[in-house]
Amino acid sequence: MAYDVNAPKIEYEGLNGDVIRFNLTDEESGIKHFEGSIDGRFVLFEKVGRSSFIACKLKGTPVKKTGKNHNLELTVTDHRNNQSNYKTQIIY
């Protein structure tokens, strides 16, 4: 019997205009949940079609475009509750 003890992989694809994209992969049990925040405030990330990508359209969030650094955090959990966290700063 195989066990899934590996956390999901998070790859930051970048910020293009007002859209942030990530590629999420989990080779074993699959992605169960993902949640993001910017400057400590929840922002909605949505799946991009049937791909492994998720995206957040910043125009629809409480984050204001200031041209300064913002703290981005993303937490991804798989179906065995293994978890990965990603933190970075974005200029928006």
Quick one: which of 1, 5, 9 has its CA closest to 54?
A: 9
Share of the chain above pLDDT 90, in %: 92
pLDDT digits (tens, 9 = 90+) for 32-54: 999 999 999 999 999 999 999 99
In this structure, the number of other CB atoms found within 10 A of the CB of residue 60 comes to 10
What is the DSSP-derived secondary structure letter of residue 40?
A: T
Share of the chain above pLDDT 70, in %: 98
CA atoms in the 13 A half-sphere facing the CB of 40: 0
Burial class (CB within 10 angstroms; exposed 0-12, middle 13-18, buried 19+) of 62: exposed
Q: What is the pLDDT of residue 36?
A: 98
